Amino acid sequence: MADGQDALKRVLLMKIRALGDPNQVLALVRSTAPFYRALGGTQVRFLQNVDDPAQFVIEIEYEANAALELNRQKVSSDPMMRTFLQGWRMALAGNAEMDVFEDVSA
């Protein structure tokens, strides 16, 4: 998605809780991997809480163009992204938290 020196590395963490059968939510979550990769995700991980199987964390490492990162509102208004997010909102009924992080461990 990003190119060369204009690329900013980011990590998106989504914490969700299944409303109903956790296996159905897990199948839905796993089916999204190609979408995340198409948006520039370099690594996608799906984590399920071993003590609370209804709780999931999705971790997506990606590179963002610096210009786009400065204005995420424009990205979130993209019709494809809006449709995708609307589907998630309906499926999760508000049981989701999303945060974007920068890896500062180096």
Query: Side by side, which strands form the sheet with 7-17?
Result: 41-48, 55-65, 7-17, 96-101
**Cα–Cα distance between 22 and 56 in angstroms, integer?**
9
| Long-range pairs for 88-93: beta carbons < 8 A, 24 or more residues apart | 91/19, 91/25, 91/28, 92/16, 92/17, 92/19, 93/19
62, 1 Cβ separation under 8 angstroms: yes
Q: What is the reported pLDDT for 1?
A: 47
Name the more confident of 90 and 99.
Answer: 99
**22-80 pLDDT, tens digit each:** 888 778 778 877 877 776 778 888 899 999 988 889 888 888 776 656 556 666 667 77
pLDDT at 100 over 70: yes
* Domains within the chain, CATH numbers bracketed: 4-99 (3.30.70.100)
Helical (H) or strand (E) element with 79:
helix 79-92
